[in-house]
Chain A
């Protein structure tokens, strides 16, 4: 009996098969890439563009702002001094002198075991004021 193959294929089937297979392999490969990765690949160029535009806008705005501010808009020395004086009045010399008049004033640096008799010693006050460089003349005139 004839052993000839009785089947046939559409014309050009074997010529086109490798290309058809390559296409399917490519499709399956694309489908096998995780959705997250594909999404990232898709939006990455847009994100890069958006970041570049934002950076450009911020740099442009800061440059424009520093160019537009005139010297008189910066804080003057007087304003700075006034600010310090306003918020740090409690450290002023008259304030410290005022503290000396108060009955409950207490020398924080004085030894904790010292008795009240020792604290009442006027020389201690003078020593303290001398160490703190308080104007003694002012004390003399005030008291």
Chain B
């Protein structure tokens, strides 16, 4: 299937008769990238599935007001990021989990996850990532796995490029330390 550019998709979306078709194209174009972004944060597939649906529901409702001040994909990433962070925050609040217990629960989910195909080293890496504060975890995943540009990350996370570079540097050091010291 031919992949349309973001501007083409937005033009199609603004045409009332082709709105659903255009949105379907947007979903097909971005579903995988957004899913993996969310999944690395919440670990469990079912949670990631729910949050991805919520993310696109919000996109559907908000796309009429999208004026193209940012790129479509950074806008969608931003929604997905907020969904994932809100979910984790709500989970801690709901079950009165302290930060350490929340990390332990995510690690435990990782070990029992039937949709985790990584080897022992990858499991160790993921567990180390889960020990990072949430925002540092986001930065590390986006840079290390998605190889996203700092400029795009700055737009999504509403942070300066310098702060992101520093955050990534700290995260990488911590992970290296945890893996070596394990």
Contacts and interface: CB of A to CB of B under 8 A. Distances in A.
Partners in one complex: yes
Contacts of A17: 27, 31, 49, 52
Contact of A8 (B40, B115, B119): B115
A14 B39 contact: no
B122 A18 contact: no
A2 B120 CA distance: 12
A24 B122 CA distance: 35
A47 B126 CA distance: 63
Contacts of B45: 7, 9-10
B123 interface: yes
Contacts of A139: none
Given A18-B27, A22-B24, A3 B144 contact: yes
Interface residues on A, range: 20 to 34
Given A18-B27, A21-B27, A7 B53 contact: no
A28 B49 CA distance: 17
Chain B interface extent, by class: 20 to 34
B160 to A, nearest CB: 25
B24 A7 contact: no
B145 A14 contact: no
B100 to A, nearest CB: 23
Contacts of B27: 17-18, 21
Interface of B: 20, 24, 27-28, 31-32, 35-36, 39-40, 45, 49, 52-53, 56-57, 60, 113, 115-119, 121-123, 125-126, 144-145
Given A7-B45, A14-B32, 6 more contacts: A1-B125, A5-B145, A6-B116, A17-B49, A17-B52, A21-B27
Return the 5 tightest CB-CB contacts between A and B, nearest first: A6-B118, A6-B122, A8-B115, A18-B27, A8-B117
